Structure 1
C-alpha cells in the first residue's frame, strides 16, 4: 500500500531508520507499516517510566507518563524526589483546554479579565461591612423592642385570618415565621450594602472548583471520533487501554496522528484498524519502536503539542490578562523560528533549548515532528537514549558520520551548500565560492562517481599540480568537464581568487581528529539532513574544545543543508525543526533569507546566541525581522537591548502627572489652621493637580532590558504561523 513514506522504516539516506543511540534490543522489532501496520517483531510491552519535572510545576495539571518499552541496557537516572505525582491518563484527557492566545499554556487554563478590576481596599471593605451589619442590628433591635411602634407588624395582621390570633400556638408559629422572614430580609439587605458578597468571593469562595465531567458522547477517553466513524471495536480497545493506564500521552498523540492520516487517506483504514486490534496502545508505532523518552525534565501536554517554559510574571509591563498564566511553546510558534539572546549562565540551554528539544522528541515519537539538535558534546539536551541518531563529530565512538554534501546529487547544489558553510560568514555573496567549488567537484564526480573527500578537496582548492593533473586525466576527453577545469585554472591565476580562502577554510576540517569523518567512499554510516522527511530524533555533538572554527563550519553546514532539504520536501505535513544551542558566527545572509521561507514549509529553527555581536552587524536587524519569536534573557548588553527595543516598537500608555502647589490664604482663620497643620505634620498645606494624558513609549527600552529584567526571567514575544502575535512578556522561567 502506498503511504508516501510517512510510516515506512528507512534510514537517514533511504534505507532503514536507525534505532535509538545505544539500542541493544530485539533486532526483529521493526517499525510499523502504513498508518501503523503491525510490526514483524514482538509487540511492545508495558512498564511505567516515571519522569522528572521542575519544582513549582505541581500547581498545574501534570500529564501522565507513557508506558516505556525498555530498549537499552544503560541505566536511566531516577527522577528527583520532588517530582509531582502524575494524574491518570483518563483524568488528563478530561482536563479542559480552552482556546487561548498564542503562547498560553492551555491545559487547565482559566481566562482572566482583560483589565484589572477596580477592587475596594480590604480595610475599607471590612469596615463598611461591620458598620452596615451594626446598623442593621440596631434597626432590628429598635423594631423588636417596639421603640419604633408596631406598624411593621401590619403585613402579618393583614395576611393571617382572625382565627389564628385566638389560637396561641398557631399565632406564635406564624409570628416567629414572620420575624424570621423580616430579619432575614434585613440581613440580606444590609449585607449587600456592606459588600459582604464581595468579601465572600474574595476570601472565602473556593476558586479551584473541579470542572464538570464531559458528557458520555464527548468523553475523549471513549475515543468518540472512532465511534462516530463506525470503528466501535477499535474505539473500545483504545478506551479500555486508556482506563487501565497502558495507553500514555505519547500513544494518544501518535494514534490520533495516524487517525487524522486515515481521514485524509481512506485507503489506510484497514491497516489502521488491524494495527489497533492486534497491538492496542502500541499501534502505529514510531519506526524505532520506542513509546516514550527515558526521562523528562519539563512539563508537556501532548494533546496540544505544548511544552511549559515558565509563567508570565505579575508585573505592570505585562497585560493583566496574561499575568500569572503559563507560557508554552508549540510547533505553530516554532514554525516562525525563535531567536534567543542571553549571556552564558542565563539559562538558555536548561530553561529553553532542552525543554523544546524534549518536546520535539516526544512529538517525533508520536510521528508528528522531526528534530535535529546541535550542541557541544555531552548530554545537555538529553541522554543518548532519547535520540535515534547521535553524530559526535571528531569522536571515534560516533555511530554515524555526517554527509558533507547533504545527500545532494547535483554538483551545483552541493557546491552551493558547502560554499555557504565555508565562507558564508566572510563574504556577503557566496556565489563566486560556489562556482569555484562546482568547477572542481563536478568533474571529480563525473570521473569517480562520488564527491571528493575533505583531503582531496583541499588539494584541488590549493592548486596541487599532482591532484589537478590526476583529475584532468580521470576526466578524459569529456569537453564539458575539461572546460570547467580550464575555467578554474584561469580564475586561480587571479589575485582575488576565492579558491585560496576556500582552501584555508577546508583545512579546518582536514585534521587528524576528523580523519574518519566526512568520507565519501561509502565505508561509514552517513547521516543526511534529507532524512527530516521522517519522524527522526537527531543530536549532533560539535567538537568545540580545540576545534572552535570547525564547529562553526559544521553549524553553518547543517543550517544550509536543513534549509535546502526542507524546501525540497514533498510531504510537508511533518513539522521539522533545527535547534542550534550555540549559533555563534552561524548566521549568514543566505541563512536569514532561508529562515523567512521555512514558515511556509512547516519548519523552523531555534537559534541561541550569547550576544548579537556574534552576528555580522549588517545582519542583526534582518535576523530579528526574519524570526517571529524573540527572547531576551536577563543580563543582555544595552546595545543588544537596543536592537530588541527597536524591533518591539512603541505603544500608547496613559500617564498621570501629579502637581502639588502650596495654598496661600489671606484670611486670618485659614492662616492659623495652615500654621497649625504645618507645626503638626511638618508640611505646608498643598493642593494636588492631576493631569492624565496618553504618551507613546517603548514597550521595553534598552536600559530596561539590560538592567530591569530579574535573574531567571526573560522577555519573550511570540508570533504564530497563522499571523497572531503577542506583545513582549516578562516570563519567569523558574516557575
Structure 2
C-alpha cells in the first residue's frame, strides 16, 4: 500500500527539479510498496522479549505532560507526612506507655477490677484454683487484654505508618514485579483490533514477527498508522493485509526504507507519541501529582507550539531541540509527522542520516537547494511570503502600509516576469529589477508588448512610476536581496531548473528535513532565510489536503524571526494540526510590542535557568496569579505572675536557653504570582526549567519546575 501517500515523498514537487505529478486525490487501489534496495537498519535481537515487555508496559491516563510509560499515579493531594524522627519517637513512647499499663495491671497495682468480665463469664466449677479451664480462660483473657492495649498504643504511636513506610509493603514497591502476560484479546502484541476486523492472518504474521524479535517500536507505530488509514477508508483492507503478509514487520515502509534512526539519545514511547525531556522536581511549588514524575511532550502539546527562552549554555539545543527533533523524525518514519529542523551548521541537530533532505545553504556540496518562492505558481502568494522574509522584521506590529507596499512592489515584478519567462526571477535578476536597472526592465516591457499582455504592462508601468519616489520601498527590498546575492550563495536559489530545490509544499508527506543556515559571516542572511522558511511553513500547512499528518517546524535560535505576521501565522497553526518550536536567548531578541503576543500565541512556554529578571517579568505576567494558603506564625513571650511560675520559667530558660513562648498561627488565603520574576531569575537551579503546557484540546498544566539533566534516564 502507499503508506498514506508516503511512497513518493522524495519525488514530490519541491524535492526534485523535475517533480513527478501527483493525482488530485488518493488512488482507489493503492499499490503495495516495493522492498527497499538495501536492508533497513534494525538492531538484531535474540528474541522478542524486549519489544514485548516494552509494548505490554502499562501506560495509564496521567495529567498533562506526564511520561505515561510505566507511570504510577499519585494522590491528588499531598498526605500529611510526619518526620521520621518524630514518628519513631512517638512509637517508642507509645510502646513504653503500653508496657507501663500492662505492668501495672499484671502486678496488681491497679487492683483486680479489670478481671471482673472474666469472672462474670466463667462458670462456678472453674472457681477451683489451678483447674484446667480456669488456667486456659485466664491466659486467654490476658492475651485479649494485651492485644487491646497493643492496638490502642499502636494507633496512638502510628505503628501502621512505620509498617507502610519502612516495612515489607515498601520493599515490594521497590522490588521488580513480574506480571503475567495479558489475555490474547487484551494483548497488544496479538493485534486484537486486526483480529476483530477479520484480518486474522495479518495479526498472526505480526504477532509471530514480534515474538521472533523482528519488530521494533517504529514498525508497530507505522503499521498502526497504516491501519488507521484502512479504518478511515483511505485504503482497502485487502491491500493492507497483502502488504503485511508479504513484508511482515517491514510493511508500509517510509519512502526512505528506514525503520529506525541511526542513533537515539532520548527516551521515546511511540505508543503514546511522547519523548521524555526530564523529571518534574519534587518541589513544593509543583502540584503533588506531578512531583517526581517524568515530563514528556508529544504532538498533542507541540500542536500548540513551544517557546523556550534561556541564555547560551542553558540547554535549549541539547535538552529541548535535539530530543524533540529526534522524536519528530521517528514520527515521520512511522508516517505520522513531517518535520523541518532549522539551525546553524554544526549546531548538533542530529546526523544527516536521520533526515531525508538536508539543505546546506552556502555549502557547495549540498545536494538540495531551497526554493526561494515556496513552490507556488501564484505571483501574489510568492510576493507576500518573500516580502515577509525580506522586510518582515521592519514592519510595524500592527498590519501597516510598509508590509503591504513591499508585497505590492514584489507582485508588480514577479507577475510580469513569470508571465514572460515561465519562472520566477533568480536572486541577481530580482535585485536588478528592484534597483530599477534600465536593461532588464526594458527587456521585460518588450516581451510583454510582444505577447500583448496589457494588464501586466500596467503593473510594470506603475512600478516604473514609483521608482525613485521618497516612499518607494524597492530600494530597501533590493538591499535585503543583496544579502543573498553573494558569492557564497552563487549556486543556490536557482529558478532555471538546474538544481534540486526543496519547498515546503512537500509537507503533506512524512518527510524529514534539516536546513543548515550559514550563520558564520552571514548572520543577517541567516535570519532572513529563517523568516522565509517560517513564512513558507505557515502558508503551506494551512492549505494541506491531509491534515491528519502532524507538521512541525523546529527553529533553533529564532532571533530576528519574530515578526507581526509570524505571530499571526503561529496563532493559526493549531487548527492546521501543526506547530513550531522556537528558542530564544532572551525575549529582547523579539520586538517589545511582540513579546506579549508571542507568549500568548504559544501554548507551551519554557523559561530555562539563567533568565534575566525582565524576561522573568514577562513570563510571570503571562502565567498570572493563583490563590494560595499562607500561615503566619507569631511567638509571644509568656509572663509568669506567681513566684512558682517564675521559678519554672527560669528553670526552663536555663535548660533550653530560650524564654517560654506561646505560638499563634494565622491561616489566610492570598493571591500571589505562580512564579515571580525574581524566582525565575534566581530560583531556578542549573539544568532546570519552568514549563507550562497547553494541549490542542485546551487542557492546561500550571508552570512546573523540571529537571532537564539527562532527560530523566
Q: What's the counterpart of residue 240 of structure 2?
A: 272
Q: Which residue of 2 aligns with 1:281?
A: 249
Q: Which whole-Å CA distance do the structure 1 matches of 2:155 and 2:178 have between them?
A: 29
CA distance in 2, matches of 1:728, 1:484: 53
Q: What is the match of residue 79 of structure 1? A: none
8 Å contact kept, 2:303–2:574: yes
Q: How much does 1:144 deviate?
A: 7.4
Deviation at 1:133, TM superposition (A): 3.9
Change (3 A) 1:33 1:240: farther
Match of residue 304, structure 1, among 263, 266, 272? 272
Q: Does 1:416 align with 2:377?
A: no
1:474 aligns with 2:437: no
Q: Is residue 14–residue 505 contact of structure 2 (8 Å, CA) maintained in 1?
A: no
- Between 309-318 and 664-673, report the one with greater CA deviation: 664-673
1:160 Cα deviation after fit: 12
Mapped partners of 1:663, 1:370: distance in 2: 72
* Aligned partner of residue 495 in structure 1, secondary structure: coil
Partner SS, residue 263 of structure 2: coil
**Partner of residue 436, structure 1:** 409
Aligned to 1:557: 532
CA contact (8 A) 2:555 2:582 kept: yes
Q: Is the 8 A contact 2:417 2:425 kept in 1?
A: yes
Measure how far apart 1:236 and its partner are.
Answer: 1.1
1:43-91 CA-partner distances (Å, limit 9, x unpaired): 8567417xxxxxxxxxxxxxxx999xxxxxxxxxxxxxxxxxx971111
TM-fit CA distance, 1:580:
0.3
Is 1:39 aligned with 2:27?
no
Q: Which runs of 5+ in 1 are unaligned?
A: 19-31, 50-64, 68-85
How far residue 198 of structure 1 moved from its aligned partner, in angstroms, is 1.2
Conserved in 1, the CA contact under 8 Å of 2:7 and 2:254?
no
Alignment pair present for 1:101 and 2:63: yes
Return closer, same or farther for 1:199/1:435 CA change in 2, 3 Å cut-off: same
Shift of 1:493: 3.0
Instruction: Check the 8 A contact 1:234/1:277 in 2, yes or no.
Output: yes
Which residue in the other structure is 1:360 paired with?
328
- Rounded to whole Å, the distance in 2 between the matches of 1:161 and 1:216 is 65
Taking a change above 3 Å as real, the CA distance of residues 156 and 680 of structure 1, as seen in their structure-2 partners, is closer
Unaligned runs of at least 5 residues, structure 2: 18-26
CA distance in 1, matches of 2:275, 2:125: 69
| Counterparts in 2 of 1:649 and 1:36: CA distance versus 1, 3 Å | farther
Structure 2 partner of 1:373: 341
Q: Does 1:398 align with 2:366?
A: yes
C-alpha displacement at 1:37, in angstroms?
2.4
Aligned-partner Cα distance in 2 for 1:493–1:393: 33
* 2:9 corresponds to 1:10: yes
- Matched residue, 1:57: none
Q: Label 1:4 to 1:358 Cα distance change in 2 as closer, same or farther (>3 A).
A: closer
Q: Quote the Cα distance in structure 1 between the aligned partners of 2:101 and 2:637.
A: 46
Counterpart contact for 1:217–1:224, Cα < 8 Å: yes
How many residues are matched? 684
1:255-300 residue CA offsets vs partner (Å, 9 max, x unmatched):
1111111111175211110111011111111111100001001001
The answer to whether the aligner puts 1:629 opposite 2:604 as a matched pair is yes
- 1:713 deviates by 0.5
User: How do 1:217-616 residues align onto structure 2 when only pairs under 5 Å count?
Assistant: 217-265=185-233, 267-378=235-346, 380-428=348-396, 429=400, 430-476=403-449, 477-616=452-591
Q: CA deviation at 1:690?
A: 2.0
Q: Secondary structure at the match of 2:514?
A: strand
Task: Specify the alignment match of 1:82 in structure 2.
Answer: none
Asked if structure 1 preserves the Cα contact closer than 8 Å seen for 2:693 and 2:700, the reply is yes
Q: 1:66 to 1:311 in 2, by over 3 A?
A: farther
Query: How far off is 1:127 after superposition?
Result: 2.8
Match in the other structure for 1:25: none
Task: Give SS of 2:689's match.
Answer: strand
Instruction: Tell whether 2:200 aligns with 1:201.
Output: no
| Bigger mean CA deviation after superposition, 185-194 or 139-148 | 139-148
C-alpha displacement of 1:431 = 1.3
2:687 to 712, 715, 730: 712
TM-score (norm 1): 0.87
CA–CA separation in structure 2 for the residues paired with 1:152 and 1:234: 75
**Aligned-partner Cα distance in 2 for 1:113–1:159:** 57
Alignment partner of 2:664: what SS? strand
> Secondary structure of the residue that 1:584 maps to in structure 2?
coil
Is 1:120 aligned with 2:92? no
RMSD (CA atoms): 3.1
**TM-aligned CA deviation for residue 153 of structure 1:** 6.0
Secondary structure at the residue paired with 1:447? Answer: helix
Report deviation, 1:322.
1.0
Answer whether contact 1:36 1:272 (CA < 8 A) is retained. Answer: no
What's the TM-score, normalizing by structure 2? 0.89
1:349–1:380 CA contact under 8 A, matched in 2: yes
CA distance in 1, matches of 2:148, 2:83: 27
SS of the aligned residue for 2:68 comes to: coil
Post-superposition Cα deviations, 1:174-227, rounded to whole Å, max 9, x if no partner, equal 998888777667655654443222111111222246375433321111111111
Cα deviation for residue 376 of structure 1 reads 0.7
Q: Secondary structure at the match of 2:272?
A: coil
Shift of 1:612: 0.8
659, 662, 677: which one aligns with 1:687: 662
Kept after mapping to 1: 8 A contact 2:3/2:226: no
